[in-house]
């Protein structure tokens, strides 16, 4: 009897997302989910676009209605998407608002749905093409630590970024200087974040945006986080790769939140963008959930020649449990302060590849074309590495060698104080002009 029970439990494990009757069930995520939003994995042999059209026809009983396959809503709190409270059922499994949000054409063989009622979800699970259904999760910016500082007006040589001096010195006893051997010419850095204030003086016409969602909100940055990370990556006075471009990929709203399906769509858009020259994907966002489709997209980007960089996180915990920083394909970046200590908030552990300045860093902000702020967090350590990666690419280092080159070149002779024993003592180093 005991053996039979063990076999039954084993069978349930094998079935995974299926019930004993073969009907797909819903995979509930461990993190915070977006209400009414689901990823739907389709079986092989089922065409994505045809299935999407069929589902939209079912969810929209009005023959004159034009349900869209893409209908992202930006700049709103994803915890309460517009229309969610008005989901009105029109019979078994039918809802006026339920619809296909994305029909993915790469990476994930499936679709995402939004504004889904319980009846709509039940109907979806009866569709013969559905392999499994999974909740869409919330992605968040690795936000600045502490209170939001007031912006200050910049000039060419005020409010300097101490971190630039630190990364070009392996001995920390010289006057401030930053004169790197390279400048990132011809390289694009995709800032996957809250948008970028492209008109900021720090960018000097080198900031662009990728139109992923056909939404006017993609043109700006209502939060500031994306502009701040971009300023550290390429800013003319406070940035690392001062001749590189940034391409804004807006996936976070005005409170620094987004969703895993939006992130997947954005990563696919980057994959198909085919920039001239080399490219870096800089991600100062995170989730504690390992979404397989996000990992698959990053693997595809790496194989296509993109260098991937991510903030390790600000929880003072093991970065291996924060994603995308926990993936081996990514250069995961923790933070040090000006005293050379591990920043009190920085994640650490064996998944962190490098440490870079991340406390009291002056950078561009979204509150004016000449405004800067003093920021704190691993979000602001990661773009130092993104800029350094762009410099290496501009010097001809192959994309597949950038991570190992940065690790090999890193400063190891200076001890990072308070660094846990399971972490690598590696501080970002950018070669200065001789």
Residue positions annotated with a catalytic role = 193, 225, 379
Closest CA to 140 of 320, 323, 287, 345: 287
Cα dist. 99→54, 60, 128, 132, 224 in Å? 10, 8, 18, 17, 31
Task: Map residue 246 onto helix, strand or coil.
Answer: strand
Best CA proximity match to 298, nearest among 128, 59, 120, 106 = 106
Q: Among candidates 153, 157, 248, 151, which has minimal Cα distance to 206? A: 248
Which residues, in sequence order, are bridge partners of residue 193?
250
Bridge partners of 133, per DSSP, are: 26, 40
Cross-strand partners of 172 = none
**CA angle (314 as vertex; 30, 295 as ends), nearest 5:** 50
Please name the helix (run of DSSP H) or strand (run of DSSP E) that holds residue 52, with its range, or none: helix 48-59
Using CA of residue 142, residue 145, residue 146, residue 151, what is the dihedral sign?
Answer: negative
- In a 3-state reduction of DSSP, which class is residue 389? helix
Strand blocks (E) in 237-305: 245-250, 257-259, 279-283, 285-286
300/294 Cα distance (integer angstroms): 10
Report yes or no: 210 and 181 within 8 Å, Cβ to Cβ. no
């Amino acid at each position: 009897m005991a053996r039979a029970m063990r076999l039954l439990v084993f069978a349930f494990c094998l079935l995974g997302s299926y019930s004993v009757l073969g009907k797909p069930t819903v995979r509930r995520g461990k993190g915070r989910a977006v209400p009414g939003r689901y990823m739907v994995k389709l079986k092989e042999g089922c065409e994505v676009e045809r299935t999407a059209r069929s589902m939209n026809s079912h969810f929209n009983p009005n023959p004159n209605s034009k349900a869209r396959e893409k209908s992202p809503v930006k700049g709103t709190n994803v915890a309460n998407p517009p229309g969610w409270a008005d989901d009105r059922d029109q019979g078994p499994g039918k809802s006026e608002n339920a619809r296909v949000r994305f029909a993915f054409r790469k990476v994930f063989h499936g679709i995402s749905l939004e504004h889904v009622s319980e009846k709509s979800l039940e109907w979806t699970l009866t569709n013969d093409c559905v392999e499994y259904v999974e909740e869409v999760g919330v992605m968040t910016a690795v936000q600045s630590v502490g209170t939001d500082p007031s912006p200050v007006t910049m000039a060419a040589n005020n409010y300097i970024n101490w971190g630039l001096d630190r990364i070009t010195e392996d001995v920390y006893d010289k006057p401030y200087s930053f004169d790197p051997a390279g400048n990132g010419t011809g390289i694009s850095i995709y800032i996957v974040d809250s948008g970028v204030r492209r008109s900021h003086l720090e960018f000097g016409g080198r900031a662009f945006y990728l139109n992923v969602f056909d939404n006017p909100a993609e043109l700006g940055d209502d939060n500031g986080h994306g502009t701040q990370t971009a300023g550290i990556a390429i800013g003319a006075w406070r940035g690392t790769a001062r001749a590189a471009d940034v391409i804004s990929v807006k996936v976070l709203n005005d409170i620094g939140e987004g969703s895993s399906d939006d992130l997947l769509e954005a990563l696919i858009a980057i994959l198909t963008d085919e920039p001239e020259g080399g490219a870096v994907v800089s991600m100062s966002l995170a989730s504690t959930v390992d979404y397989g489709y996000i990992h698959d997209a990053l693997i595809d980007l790496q194989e296509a020649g993109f260098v991937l960089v991510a903030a390790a996180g600000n929880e003072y915990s093991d970065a291996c449990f924060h994603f995308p920083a926990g993936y081996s394909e990514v250069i995961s970046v923790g933070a040090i302060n000006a005293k050379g200590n591990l920043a009190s908030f920085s994640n650490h552990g064996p998944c962190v590849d490098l440490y870079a300045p991340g406390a009291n860093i002056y950078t561009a902000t979204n509150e004016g074309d000449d405004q800067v702020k003093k920021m704190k967090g691993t979000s602001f350590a990661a773009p130092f590495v993104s800029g350094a990666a762009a410099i290496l690419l501009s010097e001809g280092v192959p994309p597949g060698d950038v991570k190992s080159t940065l690790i090999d070149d890193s400063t190891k002779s200076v001890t990072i104080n308070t660094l846990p024993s399971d972490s690598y003592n590696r501080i970002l180093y950018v070669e200065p002009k001789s």
